[in-house]
Structure 1
Amino acid sequence: MKRMLGMTLSTVIMMASLSFFPTKGFASSNEVVPISLTSDAPGYPMDENSTRIKKILLNTNKYALTTWWDEKKNFDAQGEGYLDLGGKEESDIRHPAAMSLGLAASLSFHVYDPSYIGVSSSIATQRTSQLVSSLALHHRVNTSQGWGNRWQSAHWAYFAGFAGWLIWEDLSEENQEYVRRMVEYEANRFIEYDVPYWKSPEGEVLFPGDTKAEENAWNAQLLQLATAMMPEHQNWNLWMNKNIELMVSSAATPTDQNNTYVVNGKPVKDWINGSNINEDGTVVNHGFIHPDYMEFIAFNNTSGIHYTLAGMSTPEAAFYHSDLVYNAYIDLPFASPPFEGPGGTIYKNDSSDIYYPQGNDWGTDRRMQFATLDIFADVFGYDSSLSKGGSYWEPLHAQKVLDMQNRHSDGHTYATFMEDTYDGREEWVAHHAAWALMAKWIKDNPALRISNKSYGPTYKRLSGKDRYETSVEISKEGWTASETVIIASGENFPDALASVPLAGKYDAPVLLTRSNQLPGSIEKEIVRLGAKRIIIVGGTSAIAGEVEETIRNLGAMTSRIDGKDRFETSVKIAEQLPSSDKAFLVNAYDFPDALSVASIASQQGIPILLTKQDKVPFSTQSYIEHTPFITLIGGESVISGNVEKSIGEVDRIAGRDRYETAVKVMETLQPGAKTMMVSNGESFPDALSGSGLAATLKAPLVLTRYNEVPAVTKEVFEEDSIEHFYLLGGENILGEKIPMTLLDQ
């Protein structure tokens, strides 16, 4: 039996229960804020260029509601219920989704013309609603085994979701919820997403011939939509900061690795971890410089549409390097040879022709993306320094599209396969025309605001499948190479904690090992770092001789620092540091307080010495007798008053518990930090590895419980100074609620 558009929501939720994406952050109620255009908002402009764009969009509507609906898709035979889309591949989902956006834009901006198209407004609205609802229903979050959670599915969900938002009031409550859940699900996929790059920070090509500029930009579009539609969602900050990261990364050049210009709260260099475009603004895809893929900036620019419709300001990141890329179309010459003839610039004066310097594999007559870019450049103002701006180029490219459409009575654009070889070419024209029309409307809209404000702190989780691989991930985050590596026990903390200042001396990562076997991941990381000196910390009871032999076989000079016990080992480490008149004294049997001070000790070259709770061992006492300034870390339950009296005049930093002690250490010794490390206060290995990175980044460490943030730690994140934090360890160490709680301050 055919399912009807009003099928019960509970039925669909039951069907989808086996296919949910992990449920972190899923909202339990409909949080979409519909688009509300104020009474004084401008109508659609009537100038010649705007009228041309409207005509192009109407032609795509005409084709969509006649030939495409009745013949290509045969949807007319399915009646008025949910449509069978034919499958869950690109042609089944992306193409109808893109077409739905063209229809929704025409209807919602009141440019739809039933007399021209030959289909009434009510039927057009019903079919658009039917199409959007069917796309949303068939998503895996709403129907078991549906489409979604795959490469490019965020792109498809964006088209359908944006179309749904535009016609929100024409959808039933059930279908509104299907749309909301679809967008929310796809947005949540990116909360801890590792952003891909064409090239590494060192310039190594990671994906030969395949920039990630377009991929990152279309994923950003979904997050733009989610943050515009659901401004009060509990994951809003997570979505927005990932959106900004994706947009900046999509347009990152090799030299941006050192770019200190601040975009939405952080220097560019801190947003990125590689590059996706060339220094001249060109983009390599399909193995060559490809003008069609330079259009990725349009996907970022659509932020200006989404956020204006939502009554929000648009992040400046949406236009990062748009001027550079657009310049590469207009004012960047290509000599022939080595490039293909005739050479010159990609755009040609007084012509709609496009020059492809290294060839083209998508056909000879694609123009709608260029017309859309021209409009965006003019509307958002990134063409001001060019020899000719977007307003010059737009009529040349747009008229070409309209002339092609005028060849066909049903309004479709292409006559032959070679004009555009993409099989979703007509739908592709429709969604570009929708963007172009909405940008035209926005041009003189006072609601358009661009802001470079910060959207709160960002975060990154550093983790592997175990403590050893996590130490590798921490090392990779902080070091591209290192002459020295500190090897410490991943099973026993005292020697390892005392070694952190030594790591600071050599600007070296701390890698963890098992007591009797060097993990393969650690061995590979030593090789990657190109280490020439390995320092093993601890005796053979902590790190066996077999491990040392394995390390020696890697070819690096290897030494060991150890004493007859943990106290003497800490002293021997201290003796390897530059002379200091200060020392931190911590409990040798209770790691949390020592963790909190380790990165600061490393930064300042201050040794960490170990003591018993109620007595200072001889080796430690001998050392501190010559050290005038001693700071005890922890309260009297950790280091007793007797110890304090035996030493003499000392300072003490302590809180009511380990969490408050960590905060007090930070507030006393490193106030105003912009970067923070967050570690589990009941597990030492990940924090130990992270202390070396924390020292390099001048980032103090605070502690939390597994899946609950103590009030004193929350208060730290209420300060506006924090821009970024690292989570040290996977979700088995720091649960999924931790980042959300910290970002919600």
Structure 2
Amino acid sequence: MNKVIGITISAVLFMVSMSIDPIKGFAAASNEVEPISISIDPLSYPTDENSARIKKILLNTNKYGLTTWWDEEKNFDDQGKGYLDFGGRDESDIRHPAAMSLGLATSLSFKVYNPSYIGVPESEAIDHTSQLVSSLAFHHRANSQNGWGNRWQSAHWAYFAGFGGWLIWDDLSKENQEYVRKMVEYEANRFIDYKVPYWKNAGGEVLFPGDTKAEENAWNAQLLQLATAMMPEHQNWHAWMNKNIELMVSSAATPMDLTNSEVVNGKEVREWVKGSNINDDGTVVNHGFIHPDYMEFIAFNNTSGIHYTLAGMATPEAAFFNSDLVYGAYVEHSFSSPPFEGAGGTIYKQNSSDIYYPQGNDWGTDRRMQFATLDIFADVFEFDSSLSRGGSYWEPLHAQKVLDMQNRHSDGHTYASYMEDTYDGREEWVAHHAAWALMAKWMKNDPALKISEKSYGPTYERLSGKDRFETSVEISKEGWGSSETVVIASGEDFPDALASAPLAGKYKAPILLTNHNHLPGSVEKELVRLDAERIIIIGGTSAVTDEVAEAIRDLDVKVSRIDGSDRYETSVNIAKYIGASSDQAFLVNGKTFPDALSVASIAGKNGIPILLTKKDEIPPSTQEVLEQVRSITLIGGENVIGKNVEQTFPKATRIAGVDRYETAVKVMETLQPGAKTIMVSNGGAFPDALSGSALASKLNASLVLTGFNDIPDATLNVFKRNSIEHFYLLGGENTLAAHVPLSLLRQ
């Protein structure tokens, strides 16, 4: 893979399918839209033949859009001057008008609109475009009850309308500006806790047969690009930007990227990705076959360069990740026939506008505008530099084909028949691609582009399920593709499970939670997925019944149990089971869980036993083991482990804060200084932190505690004083409120 990051571009100066509920309640004065900061000079658009061709293509889409499309196909004139009724909330109702709005807004804002050619006065074009954008925003559910939005692909539609609105911002009323802002904000907030999908997981298993998530991830990233460019002071900005980068990198991730140590915006690629969405050769599978049309997804990432330049901001280098690989697959990857169709060869054909579809084509014979746009991006952003024939060679071949098709029609539309492009939004699709192409041409000729390699602060992920049992499964999935050993603990009471982290650490095993007398179905499925061979149950039958043990044995795995006469003896027996040395031990109060959990990940990683005590008395079973240990560390203040217990072991050390939250921080700072990964758990609930302790041990992460809603100063200071790269939230929004991660990101 040729590195496209930190490149020197000679032509451009480097200067300045699921429902996702949005996080709510973050509108504030700081969330205002910043109008486009770059001054667009009407004389700055290039006048060379290729640029003039793109301008003509865009103007043709405007001509069609303001005449035949507006007056006859949509009958918008019949609706008067109010908010337009689009007839529904589906793709054909919303996406296509939104795409057309971007084409119109681009011509107007970049001052290439030509009323004499189009036959519509510029003032009327502005009115129609403003009405179109405002109506799309008004009907979004952020502004209208039961409106469109919050569905698969709706971020894509909101992007078109939102970008169009930003381009003509001063032509919108204050009310309609707010509608546009709220639409973009709403859709962006949907992705704050979004779990990024992959075509294949890290083990190579196909998760979505025949349907890569490259395009989907890239168009969702595009909405976040727009949101971060439009609202640079928004309090969710860092969450949006990091999710944008994750989506862009993931969209172009290959199987080899799972081990790729190249750093992109502050993290190694292998730390950004959890699967793959494209093949190692740069090709993309969609609709069940290698599909050249869907390889164009990189253009959605590349538009970052346009959005951030218009905002006077730097473009994250992730915008061009693997763009050279994918574009190179168009130009130089050769397909042999058989097994591939026809004569084989490369997708792009020298001296021809033809496109080779190696496994067939279901979108018609004459789609070219996306290829012309991508050719321009390859040339402007120079991810074609290693190719024998770059974008500047291919662009005129593909773009002239589009213009020739348009020249067949007096109203400027492109297609003459359904078979040329079977997509029902084909004309609007040409319009938005032509808009991107024109803006990229302008960028090459006039403004300065700046590419940033910097980190945008810590990234985060929420690991949660509908209950504590499913949350333990999600934590397991995050850390383990398979595991020979699994630790099972009660999810209903904590005492026996408190000391289980070192056991999980010894076997590099996840901790899954169960009901007292019933094995949850989600946990059973996870045991099967992990291909576990040995299950260790923690605690006696009062914690986990024999019925649960039998249900696990029915999965054809070996089951053993570690227990004791009480919680104290159970912790001792765990220490004996793992064969802990006599060098070190952590001593915690067995009647409360926070202090034990704060040290669990460190104990698990280092194989140090966690032993339980009473506040003012050491149980005999614990005393017997401690007498053989050379180094004892008490976790917690004198309100949980009394002075008389400490005096029993004069050489013991104590790590304690004023409360459980500060104690967890002091444990981290004392025993694991400089940690880059953090687990954040509710300090008033044990289950999620218990499961998370095994993952923290595996990832060499520290655990800190917070309240459901309020974040203690001690925990906030961890994020202020340390260079945290990534943190996990353990549990859903009923455990840790939606704003908690956003507050941590702002430290």
Q: Same fold (TM over 0.5)?
A: yes
Tell me which amino acid in the other structure corresponds to 1:227.
T
Deviations 1:688-722 (A, max 9, x none): 01100100000010000111110110010113521
Match of 1:727 in 2: 729
Contact 2:31 2:234 in 1 (8 A): no
Tell me which amino acid in the other structure corresponds to 1:133.
S
Residues 183 and 39 (structure 1), Cα distance of their counterparts in 2 relative to 1, 3 Å cut: closer
Q: In structure 2, how many angstroms separate the alpha carbons of the residues matched to 1:497 and 1:389?
A: 61
Contact 2:708 2:736 in 1 (8 A): yes
Q: In structure 2, how many angstroms separate the alpha carbons of the residues matched to 1:59 and 1:719?
A: 56
Post-superposition offset of 1:653: 0.5
1:102 aligns with 2:99: no
Post-superposition offset of 1:632: 0.5
Contact 1:481 1:531 in 2 (8 A): yes
Match of 2:278 in 1: 277
Match of 1:297 in 2: 298
Q: In structure 2, how many angstroms separate the alpha carbons of the residues matched to 1:63 and 1:140?
A: 29
Q: In structure 2, how many angstroms separate the alpha carbons of the residues matched to 1:22 and 1:634?
A: 36
Deviations 1:485-519 (A, max 9, x none): 11112222122121110110011111112222222
1:521 aligns with 2:522: yes
Tell me which amino acid in the other structure corresponds to 1:620.
T
Match of 1:683 in 2: 685
1:627-646 aligned at under 5 Å gives the runs: 627-646=629-648
Tell me which amino acid in the other structure corresponds to 2:745.
L
Match of 1:56 in 2: 57
Match of 1:655 in 2: 657
Match of 1:559 in 2: 560
Match of 1:600 in 2: 602
1:34 aligns with 2:35: yes
Please, which moves more after superposition, 189-198 or 681-690? 189-198
Match of 1:412 in 2: 413
Please, which moves more after superposition, 234-243 or 164-173? 234-243
Contact 1:708 1:737 in 2 (8 A): no
Match of 2:10 in 1: none
Tell me which amino acid in the other structure corresponds to 2:206.
V
Match of 2:4 in 1: none
Post-superposition offset of 1:405: 1.1
Q: Residue 618 of structure 1 is aligned with which of 617, 620, 627?
A: 620
Deviations 1:578-603 (A, max 9, x none): 42401111011111111100110111
1:451-466 aligned at under 5 Å gives the runs: 451-466=452-467
Q: In structure 2, how many angstroms separate the alpha carbons of the residues matched to 1:639 and 1:20?
A: 44
Contact 1:41 1:445 in 2 (8 A): no
Aligned residues with identical type, % of pairs: 76
Post-superposition offset of 1:522: 1.8
1:497 aligns with 2:498: yes
Post-superposition offset of 1:401: 0.9
Please, which moves more after superposition, 201-210 or 369-378? 201-210
Contact 1:499 1:537 in 2 (8 A): yes
Q: What secondary structure is seen at the aligned counterpart in 1 of 2:600? A: helix
Contact 2:137 2:161 in 1 (8 A): yes
Contact 2:636 2:663 in 1 (8 A): yes
Contact 1:20 1:140 in 2 (8 A): no
Match of 1:128 in 2: 129
Tell me which amino acid in the other structure corresponds to 1:183.
V
Match of 2:9 in 1: none
Residues 423 and 254 (structure 1), Cα distance of their counterparts in 2 relative to 1, 3 Å cut: same
Q: Residue 705 of structure 1 is aligned with which of 704, 707, 710?
A: 707
Post-superposition offset of 1:42: 7.5
Contact 2:504 2:604 in 1 (8 A): yes
Please, which moves more after superposition, 438-447 or 693-702? 438-447
Post-superposition offset of 1:342: 2.0
Post-superposition offset of 1:105: 0.4
Q: In structure 1, how many angstroms separate the alpha carbons of the residues matched to 2:572 and 2:91?
A: 64
Residues 445 and 587 (structure 1), Cα distance of their counterparts in 2 relative to 1, 3 Å cut: farther
Contact 2:42 2:112 in 1 (8 A): no
Please, which moves more after superposition, 508-517 or 314-323? 508-517
Post-superposition offset of 1:71: 1.0
1:395 aligns with 2:401: no
Deviations 1:531-583 (A, max 9, x none): 11111111222222222222223222221111222111111111122424011
Deviations 1:25-66 (A, max 9, x none): 344676100012248898111111111111111111111111
1:379 aligns with 2:380: yes
Q: In structure 2, how many angstroms separate the alpha carbons of the residues matched to 1:612 and 1:45?
A: 79
Match of 2:91 in 1: 90
Q: In structure 1, how many angstroms separate the alpha carbons of the residues matched to 2:657 and 2:706?
A: 14
1:329-344 aligned at under 5 Å gives the runs: 329-344=330-345
Q: What secondary structure is seen at the aligned counterpart in 1 of 2:714? A: helix
Contact 2:40 2:110 in 1 (8 A): no
Residues 580 and 315 (structure 1), Cα distance of their counterparts in 2 relative to 1, 3 Å cut: farther
The runs of 5 or more residues in structure 2 that have no matched partner are 1-19
Contact 2:591 2:614 in 1 (8 A): yes
Residues 688 and 413 (structure 1), Cα distance of their counterparts in 2 relative to 1, 3 Å cut: same
Q: In structure 2, how many angstroms separate the alpha carbons of the residues matched to 1:383 and 1:44?
A: 23
Q: In structure 1, how many angstroms separate the alpha carbons of the residues matched to 2:53 and 2:467?
A: 60
Number of residue pairs matched by the alignment? 727
Match of 2:370 in 1: 369
Q: What secondary structure is seen at the aligned counterpart in 1 of 2:586? A: strand
Tell me which amino acid in the other structure corresponds to 1:725.
F
Deviations 1:292-316 (A, max 9, x none): 1110000110010000000111111
Post-superposition offset of 1:407: 1.4
Q: What secondary structure is seen at the aligned counterpart in 2 of 1:630? A: strand
Deviations 1:334-363 (A, max 9, x none): 111111112111111111111111111111
1:410-489 aligned at under 5 Å gives the runs: 410-489=411-490
Residues 630 and 21 (structure 1), Cα distance of their counterparts in 2 relative to 1, 3 Å cut: closer
Please, which moves more after superposition, 412-421 or 444-453? 444-453
1:8-23 aligned at under 5 Å gives the runs: 23=24
Q: In structure 2, how many angstroms separate the alpha carbons of the residues matched to 1:585 and 1:150?
A: 50
Q: In structure 2, how many angstroms separate the alpha carbons of the residues matched to 1:425 and 1:521?
A: 44
Contact 2:473 2:522 in 1 (8 A): yes
Match of 1:3 in 2: none
Q: What secondary structure is seen at the aligned counterpart in 1 of 2:561? A: strand
Post-superposition offset of 1:367: 0.8
Deviations 1:366-393 (A, max 9, x none): 1111110000001111000011010111
Tell me which amino acid in the other structure corresponds to 2:188.
A
Q: In structure 1, how many angstroms separate the alpha carbons of the residues matched to 2:671 and 2:23?
A: 40
Match of 2:6 in 1: none
The runs of 5 or more residues in structure 1 that have no matched partner are 1-18
Tell me which amino acid in the other structure corresponds to 1:356.
Y
Q: In structure 1, how many angstroms separate the alpha carbons of the residues matched to 2:129 and 2:390?
A: 35
Contact 1:98 1:156 in 2 (8 A): yes
Tell me which amino acid in the other structure corresponds to 2:587.
L
User: RMSD between aligned alpha carbons?
Assistant: 1.6
Please, which moves more after superposition, 102-111 or 559-568? 559-568
Q: In structure 2, how many angstroms separate the alpha carbons of the residues matched to 1:89 and 1:434?
A: 23
Q: Structure 1 length as normaliser, TM-score?
A: 0.96
Post-superposition offset of 1:664: 0.4
Residues 585 and 720 (structure 1), Cα distance of their counterparts in 2 relative to 1, 3 Å cut: closer
Q: In structure 2, how many angstroms separate the alpha carbons of the residues matched to 1:39 and 1:422?
A: 34
Q: In structure 2, how many angstroms separate the alpha carbons of the residues matched to 1:732 and 1:462?
A: 13
Q: Structure 2 length as normaliser, TM-score?
A: 0.95
Match of 1:542 in 2: 543
Residues 83 and 595 (structure 1), Cα distance of their counterparts in 2 relative to 1, 3 Å cut: same
Tell me which amino acid in the other structure corresponds to 1:588.
G
Q: What secondary structure is seen at the aligned counterpart in 1 of 2:721? A: coil
Q: In structure 2, how many angstroms separate the alpha carbons of the residues matched to 1:710 and 1:720?
A: 16
Please, which moves more after superposition, 408-417 or 680-689? 408-417
Match of 1:15 in 2: none
Q: In structure 1, how many angstroms separate the alpha carbons of the residues matched to 2:114 and 2:522?
A: 64
Q: What secondary structure is seen at the aligned counterpart in 2 of 1:718? A: helix
Q: In structure 2, how many angstroms separate the alpha carbons of the residues matched to 1:398 and 1:491?
A: 65
Q: In structure 2, how many angstroms separate the alpha carbons of the residues matched to 1:481 and 1:145?
A: 43
